[in-house]
Amino acid sequence: MSAPLLIVNAKTYQSSQGHGALELARIMDSLNSRGARLVLAVSAFDLSVVAAAVENIEVWTQHLDPIGFGSNTGRLHPGTAIERGALGTLINHAENKVDLSHVAELLTIIDHRIGVCACAADLDEASALATLSPDYVAIEPPELIGGDISVTTADPTIVSGTVELVRSVNPSVKVLCGAGVNSGADVACAIELGAAGVLLASAVTMASDPAQVLNNLLSQL
Hey, which residues are catalytic here? 93, 140
The answer to whether 180 touches 150, Cβ cutoff 8 Å, is: yes
Nearest alpha carbon to residue 47 among 2, 92, 6, 77: 77
